[in-house]
Amino acid sequence: MRGKTMQTTALALGLLAGSAYGAMAQDKLTVGANIGNVPWEFQDESGEFIGFEIDLVAAVAERLGAEVETVNIPFNGLFSAVQSGRIDIATSSITITDERLESVSFAQPYYDSDQSLTVLTDGPATLEEMAGKVVGVDTGSTGDMWASAQSDTYGFGDIRRYEGLAPAMLDLTAGRIDGYISDIPAMLYYAKDKPNLTVVARIETGEKYSMMFAKDAPLAAQVNAILDDLKTEGVTAELHEKWFGAAPDEGTSTVTVLPMPSLD
């Protein structure tokens, strides 16, 4: 009898949580993420998925009264997975762009970022010194887009594409590529305890990260409303301090309530 009472209470709490942000259509959220994307979503020594966005999704799901199932998907596959309904939410430090908004929806951003160039410590010291050299990027990422658009400007010898950080770092440390262009927070986090790697350039792109959904999915608006509260209550700021070791700057999207992105 006690077990039945506890189940009923849990269900009531879940329905109450969901009602505050609109009707919740399911009791489980399937979330696609490119695991290995530090410090956003990666595995600890026990194999558990951890990271800033893992924690953020958990906070969102708690308010919806839903459980989370995280599925490891290469970055470039996240777009088709969310569009087809295979997953409900995609994360992996995904940048909001007008081009992407034509086919998917985003909740409000929660992190401001730029790109970066990471090299071996005794390698090229600037983007200009990458002329004639091989640059690595993640397939379909904003780093890929930037490198492709700027290839002639900087005279890159070749652009090599990867499905995630780990294989790119293997090739960089082995000398098979000369530099790696990717999100600066991930690379600063990754390289901080690796003296053979150096982030030598910040590439200003003005990117903002958020969760991605199928186009016009009702869940996107629900999550956007929850992010209003998580920012106002200081939850996102706490997560920033946990994963980056410092409070977020005032005025950034981590602490500022913003409208849901649209093409209007």
| Fold adopted by 2-112+208-244 | D-Maltodextrin-Binding Protein; domain 2 (3.40.190)
Instruction: Please state, in angstroms and rounded to a whole number, the distance separating the CA atoms of residues 40 and 186.
Output: 8
pLDDT of res. 114: 96
**Res 57 pLDDT > 50:** yes
**Res 236 pLDDT > 60:** yes
Across the chain, mean pLDDT equals: 91
pLDDT of res. 122: 95
Closest CA to 39 of 80, 96, 91, 100: 91
By DSSP bridging, strand 104-106 and strand 111-120 are unpaired
pLDDT in tens, 111-154: 999 999 999 999 999 999 999 999 999 999 999 999 999 999 99
> Which residues, at least 6 apart from 131, have a Cβ–Cβ distance to it below 8 Å?
154, 155, 156, 157
pLDDT-above-90 percentage for the chain: 88
Count helices and strands in the chain by DSSP H and E runs: 9, 11
DSSP element (H, E) containing 199: strand 197-214
Mean pLDDT of 155-164: 96
Please name the amino acid found at residue 107. A
pLDDT of res. 21: 66
Q: Which residue has the higher pLDDT, 11 or 43?
A: 43
Q: Does residue 109 have a cis bond before it (omega within 30 degrees)?
A: no
- Both tokens of 108, joined, read 């409000």
By DSSP bridging, strand 158-162 and strand 134-138 are parallel
Q: Please provide the CATH number assigned to the domain covering 113-206.
A: 3.40.190.10
pLDDT in tens, 210-228: 999 999 999 999 999 999 9
pLDDT of res. 26: 73
pLDDT of res. 164: 87
Closest CA to 111 of 255, 260, 254: 254
Same fold, 2-112+208-244 and 113-206: yes
With a threshold of 0.85, does the pTM exceed it?
A: no
pLDDT in tens, 177-222: 999 999 999 999 999 899 999 999 999 999 999 999 999 999 999 9
**8-state DSSP, 128:** G
Mean pLDDT of 34-40: 94
pLDDT of res. 23: 59
pLDDT of res. 3: 42
pLDDT of res. 231: 98
Q: Could you tell me the residue ranges of all domains in the chain?
A: 2-112+208-244, 113-206
Mean pLDDT of 24-38: 89
Confidence of residue 13 (pLDDT cuts 50, 70, 90): very low
**Res 8 pLDDT > 70:** no
Cβ–Cβ under 8 Å, residues 219 and 212: no
